[in-house]
Structures are given as C-alpha cells and as structure tokens.
Amino acid sequence: MTTQAVRLFRKMNGLFAVYKPQGVHWKHVRDSTESNLLKALNSCPPPAPQLALQFQLLSGGENCSSKDVVLSPSMVPTLADHPLVTGPQFHKVHVGVGHRLDAFSSGVLVLGVGKGNGVLEHLCKSHVTRDYTLEGEFGKATDNFTHTGRVIEKTTYDHVTLDKLERVLAMIQGANQKALITYSQVDLHTQEAYELAVRGLLYPHGKSPPILTGLRCIHFNPPNFTLEVQCVNETQKYLRKLIHEVGLELRTSAVCSGVRRTRDGPFKVENALTRQHWTADSIMQAIAHFTCLNNVMIHTKNYKIQT
C-alpha cells in the first residue's frame, strides 16, 4: 500500500521559482528548500502497523495440573517498520539550481525537484532572456564596481543629464544589437531573418559573450539612477561592470548598489516564493501553477500554428 509520504514524494516533480534575498548565498536557498521538503516528507503520518498473530500463555486455573498449557491467540501490531525503529523514510531530496545569483544580487532563482531537474538543465542550455533592474550611483568608483567596495576614485557628476544618459544607453544597446546579429548566425538578407528581427526572436547560437537585448533608464535622480536590462549569457559581475562603463562614457564614475533579477525565462518575480513560503505546500502549489501555465502556453502556440 502506498503511503502518504510516497504519494507526496511522487508529486515533487517540476520547476518553481523562489526570491533570493540580497546577502544570501544561493546554496543556502537550495539547502533550506531541500530541508523543508525533506521535513514535510518525514513528518507524514506513518501507515497503520500490520497485525501479526501471537499466542499468549494463560494459566490453567486451580483445578488443572501443572502440565496443562492454555494458549490464547491474539492479533498484535508489529512495530518493525515504525519510523521510531527504522528511522526517517527519506534521507535526501535533490533540488537543482538554474541560472545562479551571487550573494550581492537578489531576485528570481529557478529551482527544480525530481524530474524537473532534467527540464531545468534544458532551461539553462536554452537562450532565454532574463530581466534585471540595476541600481547605480554616480560620483565614485570602487575596486569591485559595487558601493561596498574600496573607493579608488571620486568624481563630479553635475554635468550628467537624463538626455546624455539615454544617448549613452542607446549607443551601448546598438553595439549589443550588432553582436546579437553576428552571433545569431542568420543571413540578414533573407525574409526569415527579417521577420525574426522584427519579432525580437534573434538569439545567439553556441557560445557567445553577454549580450544586452534591451536597455533603458527607468529612474533618474542624481546621483542615483535605475536601469532596466534584458540580456542573455550574462553574469552579475558583468552587469555591475556595465554600471561602471556607463559612468565612464558620461565622463564620470559610477558604482552598482543593487542587482535584482525580475524575470528568468517564463518565471516572473511576482510568482517567486519569498522566504516564508519556502515550504512544501507552497512549493507544490508553485509547481502545479507553472505546469498548468506551461500547458496553456503550449496549447496556444499549437493553435496559432494550425490557424
């Protein structure tokens, strides 16, 4: 008979997203999730113990001689399979990690459990775009491009305007658009390539450097500013260096005070589980939600192809 714990374990198959706070290592997020899932499995009530036939020796009474033996049959529970005897039924739940975030960064971190680890590997190899918001601060430069690093230079920034910043961002995005065309390995003279470019479906094939597919300023209040970035094959170190390079192009300096991932492929920040929801119940609901959403997307895509 299948136990409640086994039924729960069989449901732990799929992908889900959590929100990794800044200052927390991704390994801590993974270990906490694994621990919570394992705790939920082993806290399931054990099945009712099996009954075994047992004979008890009874006294024959005063009128019986000492040679008489009276046996009484009874059914008693066997405790050989009880968790207090055998220990926890589950000892390991493997949770895989998708595109990682370093300790300085926060935001959407995609995890996989069970058969979802195979899907997670495919997601990591695919060229899905990811969205970030980057917090920057003009006026200083550090040895690691962050506001917490050792200050190596201080500069003025009074000459920096929103118009100048947007021109620099447009220049950077233009250079990245050319790189995207180069690494997409398509012939731009064909109708197919033109349609892909118009629909924003050009992706690099094979290995490529980090490429920005979108870049704009969404907040400007010197010395602070915020950029919204869409990219592929990026690292958080590359994004922090991007803030530094923006400062150099504006003839000043700038450091990064925050990197926040708001989307990783189909996973958005509004669907990511915060720390208090890294529980088995919330994770199962998140897996079911993504599976249902994915099925709807596949059905819609197939419908469009048929029509």
183-228: per-residue pLDDT in tens?
A: 887 766 677 666 766 666 667 777 789 999 999 999 999 999 999 9
Alpha-carbon dihedral angle through residues 186, 188, 192, 196, given to the nearest 10 degrees: 80
Using CB atoms within 10 A of its CB, is residue 131 exposed (0-12), middle (13-18) or buried (19+)?
Answer: buried
pTM above 0.85, yes or no: no
Catalytic-residue membership of 102:
yes
CA angle 162, 163, 165 (to 5 degrees): 65
Choosing from 31, 81, 102, 158, the catalytic residue is 102
With tokens 């099945």, the residue in question is 47
What does the block give as tokens for 251? Answer: 């003839």
- What confidence score (pLDDT) does residue 300 get? 41
- What confidence score (pLDDT) does residue 89 get? 75
Q: Is 133 helix (H, G, I), strand (E, B) or coil?
A: strand
Average pLDDT, the chain: 86
String of DSSP letters for 173-192:
HHHHHHHHHHHHT--TTSHH
Q: What would the mean pLDDT of 24-49 be, rounded to a whole number?
A: 90
